[in-house]
Amino acid sequence: MLRVRLPAQMRFGPCAFAAVILGAAGAALAADQMISASVFQDRLEGGWAGEMIGVTWGAPTEFVWQGAIIPDGNVPVWAPATINGGFNQDDIYVEAPFIQAMKDHGVNCSWTDFGNHFRDTTFSLWHANYSGRWNLQHGIAAPWSGHYSHNTCCDDIDWQIESDFAGLVSPGQTSAAINLAWRAGHVMNYGDGVYGGVAVAVMHSAAYFATNVRQIVDAGRQAVPSGSQYRQVLDDVVSWHDDGKTWEETWQLLQDKWGTTDRCSSGVGNPFNIDAKLNGAYVVIGLLYGNGDFEQSMRIAMRCGQDSDCNPSTVGGILGNWLGLSGIPDTFKSDLDRTGTKFSNTDLTFDDAVALSRDLARNVLLMNGGSVSGSGANEVWTIPTKTALAPILEQWPSTSNAAPALTASAAVQTGLTIQFDASATDTDGIADYQWFFGDLTSAGGASGTHTYGLPGTYEALCYVTDGIGNTSWQSFMLDVTPEPAALTLVGLGLIGLLARRRRCRG
Confidence band of 484 (pLDDT split at 50, 70, 90): low
Which has more pLDDT, 216 or 1? 216
CB 328 within 8 A of CB 217: no
Strand partners, 420: 410, 448
Q: Which helix (H) or strand (E) holds 47?
A: helix 37-58
pLDDT range class, residue 506, cuts 50, 70, 90: very low
Beta strands in 29-100 (DSSP E): 33-36
Q: What is the mean pLDDT of the chain?
A: 89
Cα separations in angstroms, 206 against 14, 27, 220, 337: 23, 11, 8, 28
* pLDDT the model gives residue 236: 98
The strand order across the sheet containing 456-466 reads: 442-444, 430-436, 456-466, 471-480, 492-493
Peptide bond before residue 143 is cis, with ω within 30 degrees of 0: yes
27-39 average pLDDT score:
78
**Higher model confidence: residue 270 or residue 245?**
245
Q: How confident is the model at residue 150 (pLDDT cuts 50, 70, 90)?
A: very high
Q: From residue 351, how far is each of 40, 89, 285 by CA, in Å?
A: 14, 17, 31
The pLDDT score that the predictor gives to residue 413 is 67
Q: What are phi and psi of 399, to 5 degrees?
A: -135, 165
Q: What is the pLDDT at residue 28?
A: 40
- Rounded distance, CA 475 to CA 409, Å? 9
**pLDDT value, residue 458:** 87
Residue 137: how many CA atoms within 13 Å on its side-chain side?
A: 11
Question: By three-state DSSP, how is residue 448 classified?
Answer: strand
The better pLDDT of the pair 9, 159 is held by: 159
- Could you tell me the pTM of the whole model? 0.91
Q: How far apart are the first and last CA of the chain?
A: 36
Strand (E) or helix (H) holding 13: none
Q: CA-based diameter of the chain, in Å?
A: 70
Return the pLDDT at 377.
85
pLDDT number for residue 415: 61
Environment class of residue 155 by beta-carbon count within 10 Å: exposed (0-12), middle (13-18) or buried (19+)?
A: buried
> Whole-angstrom Cα distance, residue 278 to residue 137?
30
DSSP string, 92-105: HHTHHHHHHHHHHH
Higher local confidence (pLDDT), 301 or 29: 301
- Residue ranges and CATH numbers for the domains of the chain are 3-20+397-493 (2.60.40.10), 35-369 (1.10.4080.10)
Of the listed ranges 21-30, 37-46, 152-161, the least confidently predicted one is 21-30
Which secondary-structure segment (H or E) carries 18? none
Per-residue pLDDT at 487 exceeds 60: no
Asked if the model's pLDDT at residue 492 lies above 50, the reply is no
Predicted pLDDT at 314 = 98
pLDDT in tens, 388-442: 899 999 999 999 999 999 999 988 766 677 899 999 999 999 999 999 999 999 9
Note the pLDDT tens digit of each residue in 307-344.
999 999 999 999 999 999 999 999 999 999 999 999 99
**Beta strands in 25-131, from DSSP E residues, in sequence order:** 33-36
Element housing 371 (H / E): strand 371-373
Angle, vertex CA 109, rays to CA 363 and CA 22, nearest 5: 65
pLDDT of residue 80: 98
CA 211 to chain CA centroid, Å, is: 22
Q: Where are the beta strands (DSSP E) in 403-455?
A: 405-414, 417-425, 430-436, 442-444, 448-451
